[in-house]
Amino acid sequence: MKILNWLLTAIFGICFLSVLGIFHIFQVIGLKISYHAHKVSVDWMSWWINACLGIVGARPRITNLAGDLPTDRPTIIVCNHQSMFDIPTINWSLRAVHPKYISKKSLSKGIPAVSYNIRHGGSAIIDRKDPKQSIEAIQAFTEYLNTNNRAGCIFPEGTRSKTGEMAMFKKGGLFTMLEAMPTATIVPVAIQNYWKITRYGFKPIPFGARPKCTILPVIERAGKSNEALLEECERVIRAVAEQGL
């Protein structure tokens, strides 16, 4: 079985890198045309990355319990974090609200297609060693989301889970977004089994991880403090994300 896993991992790696290379070119061309053309290229890159995961038996299963989200206001997507592959699933499943991310500086260069999208697609780039720069970048990010009615995705755990167990949510980034985006729709998203894809660091990818993404019902903001909103997000996400552990 391990030999088969190595073979399928190699095939996946070739396909994955090919998708990044091809869609890097599409993004460059798309951005010269318009924001929309660039976004379409990112959407379909995300679809193809998810499709490639099918090679190792890990094509994501997406369940939408939130229905159609409003596009006439900004959105805050709150999600647990398990793998780099969380992001293409969120990109594709919530493409109607234009997901953007808070990304660390090291990801903004050196990765075909991915780094290009971080730099040019509307995401925030922060330097974790420079708190002042991070605050300014997040402030500019929330202004962009408010002005353009885009979605900002935040992973309040602050790091990826390597076992599927969620860490406690941190207040900082989410509180900043809640304060700066008082009209935003809050959408909790629960990720399951993505950690299994990268549990061995691609050496190899075990077959049949069966990742799941559940878009949970919108959380109502009326009459709730930021503390209460964070606690509710964590509670409903944890209830789904840790099923079966």
3-state secondary structure the chain: CHHHHHHHHHHHHHHHHHHHHHHHHHHHHHHHHCHHHHHHHHHHHHHHHHHHHHHHCCCCEEEECCCCCCCCCCEEEEECCCCCCHHHHHHHHCHHHCEEEEEEHHHHCCCCCHHHHHHHCCCEEECCCCHHHHHHHHHHHHHHHHHHCCEEEECCCCCCCCCCCCCCCCCHHHHHHHHHCCCCEEEEEEEECHHHCCCCCCCCCCCCCCCEEEECCCECCCCCCHHHHHHHHHHHHHHHHCCCC
- d(CA 53, CA 49) in angstroms, rounded, equals 7
Confidence (pLDDT) at 123: 95
Confidence (pLDDT) at 72: 97
- d(CA 155, CA 159) in angstroms, rounded, equals 8
Confidence (pLDDT) at 121: 95
Amino acid at 114: V
Q: pLDDT truncated to tens, each residue of the chain (245 aa)? A: 789 999 999 999 999 999 999 999 999 999 999 999 999 999 999 999 999 999 999 999 999 999 999 999 999 999 999 999 999 999 999 999 999 999 989 999 999 999 999 999 999 998 888 888 888 898 999 999 999 999 999 999 988 999 999 999 998 889 999 999 999 999 999 999 999 999 999 999 999 999 999 999 999 999 999 999 999 999 999 999 999 77
Confidence (pLDDT) at 141: 95
Confidence (pLDDT) at 152: 97
Half-sphere exposure of 228 (CA within 13 A, CB side): 7
Confidence (pLDDT) at 50: 98
Q: Which residue has the tokens 């069966």?
A: 210
pTM to 2 decimals?
A: 0.95
